Amino acid sequence: MVLTISDKLNAALENKSIVFYGASMFNSFHPPVRTLMGPGPSDVNPRILEALSRPTVGHLDPAFIDMMDEVKALLQYVFQTKNELTLPVSAPGSAGMETVFTNLLERGDKAIICQNGVFGGRMKENVERCGAEAVMVQDDWGTAVDLNKVEDALKANPDAKLLAFVHAETSTGVRSDAKALCALARQYDCLAVVDAVTSLAGIELKVDEWGIDAIYSGTQKCLSCVPGLSPVSFSERAAQVIRERKTPVQSWFLDLNLVMGYWGGSAKRAYHHTAPVNSLYALHESLVIVQEEGLEQSWQRHASNHRALVAGIESLGLSFVVDAACRLPQLNLVKFPDTIDDAVVRSALLSDYSLEIGSGLGAFAGKVWRIGLMGFASSQTNVYLCLSALGNVLRQQGLDVDPAAAVLAAKQTY
């Protein structure tokens, strides 16, 4: 007889002699092996899993500090920046977002926020919790940020401190023109703040060349690392704003004036918090893998696999939500007929093929799938698996599709 967690807890309450937390009641957790092709996390390279298992050392150990310096240099490479203030925040991408806003904004400041999906809305939440005013520039989900609307907002709000936008909107699969938006920010003397959670290492991103002042990302997308860290980088202009704040940063843990005592680069590091040592081993390994492949080659691989997926999806008679001109190669929104049950298809893919794809969010809920081709998961093998499995499940749902033809269409693009 297999007991559920609830059964075990109830038994423990009713019979004091049963110790539900004992070895006889709970066993080690062994997750199923999945192919992760949703919006994140992405498949983790086995080299990174091995790095996680290496011996834990102290977070002030000289050997670990040497590795920290390498992590910083590798992050500068993937961000394409020389920013001194570049480091991984010891928490997921959402904490990277909060780090940027809590350090740059003070009560009474004004920020222009672009929203064309879920994550622009989260930016707004952060701004308001800092006691600042969020001026919203709204665009339809599935479309890129409108440069004309942004310029109008900048003209109407000359006292705005920063302009913030999502480079690669995970909820919609849209890429906005980061280079042009940053140029507008600089023209109107605003700090340019960029969400690069899904874009880093997946599409072109050049922090210094484009004039990005503050940027944050996550490890679980195109870096193919485990979730739990958030790389950030700040220009000297942004770093000066942080140093010259009139009030303390509202979050002690995320206060970069304190964190830099640990990540600052000098031989003597000041204790701030116990860094997630093994997760940083994993990040180091993931960045080494990007360096070995080459950043531009990584961008090209994501684009190549996207083209193959597009050919196969269209062969199945399905279509894409986002216009090709602003479509992300690493996160694809695929429309399906009203006759198809979204949950049934995703459940079948998971149970029959151990393949995970994502559902739609907001206005797209129940209408689209979000298919990820991020990092280690962006491969020809996974493109073929996804097309074959999805085609077979759709046939079971009554659609007249040819999975083999879809795979062949994808192959012909390589």
- Tell me whether domains 46-292 and 295-411 share a fold: no
Here the tokens at position 81 are 């920046």
CATH architecture of the domain with range 295-411: Alpha-Beta Complex (3.90)
Q: How far is the CA of 53 from the CAs of 46, 50, 191, 279, 380, in angstroms?
A: 11, 5, 40, 10, 28
Domain boundaries, the chain: 5-30, 46-292, 295-411
DSSP β-bridge partners for residue 233:
86, 215
Could you tell me the two tokens for 113?
């926020």
CA distance 290 to 288: 5
- Which residues on adjacent β-strands are paired with residue 355? 35
Distances (CA, A) of 87 to 62, 254, 272, 280: 18, 12, 14, 11
Residues with Cβ within 8 Å of 312's Cβ and at least 6 positions away in sequence, in order, are 383, 386, 387, 406, 407, 409, 410
CB burial of 25-38 (b: ≥16 within 10 Å; e: otherwise) equals beeeeeeeeebbbb
- Dig out the tokens for 301 from the structure: 């691989």
Per-residue pLDDT of the chain (414 residues; tens, 9 = 90+): 556 666 666 665 666 555 555 555 778 899 999 999 999 999 999 999 999 999 999 999 999 999 999 999 999 999 999 999 999 999 999 999 999 999 999 999 999 999 999 999 999 999 999 999 999 999 999 999 999 999 999 999 999 999 999 999 999 999 999 999 999 999 999 999 999 999 999 999 999 999 999 999 999 999 999 999 999 999 999 999 999 999 999 999 999 999 998 998 665 788 899 999 999 999 999 999 999 999 999 999 999 999 999 999 999 999 999 999 999 999 999 999 999 999 999 999 999 999 999 999 988 999 999 999 999 999 999 999 999 999 999 999 999 999 999 999 999 999
Which residue bears the tokens 């918090």?
A: 273
**What local confidence, expressed as pLDDT, does residue 270 receive?**
85
- Per residue, the 3-state secondary structure of 40-100, as one string, reads CCCCCCHHHHHHHCCCCCCCCCHHHHHHHHHHHHHHHHHHCCCCCEEEEECCCHHHHHHHH
Contact 222, 198 (CB under 8 A): yes
Both tokens assigned to 338: 């009203």
The pLDDT value recorded for residue 269 is: 82
Closest by Cα among 324, 307, 264, 318 to 143 = 324
| Cα–Cα distance for residue pair 185/151, rounded to 1 Å | 9
Q: Which fold has domain 46-292?
A: Aspartate Aminotransferase; domain 2 (3.40.640)
Residues in contact with 340: Cβ distance below 8 Å, sequence separation at least 6, in sequence order: 394, 397, 399
Q: Are 267 and 115 in contact (CB under 8 A)?
A: no
Tell which phi-psi region holds residue 142, choosing left (phi > 0), alpha (psi between -120 and 50) or beta: left
CA-based nearest residue to 89, from 279, 286, 290, 242: 279
The contacts of residue 236 (CB under 8 Å, 6+ apart) are 83, 84, 85
pTM above threshold 0.75: yes
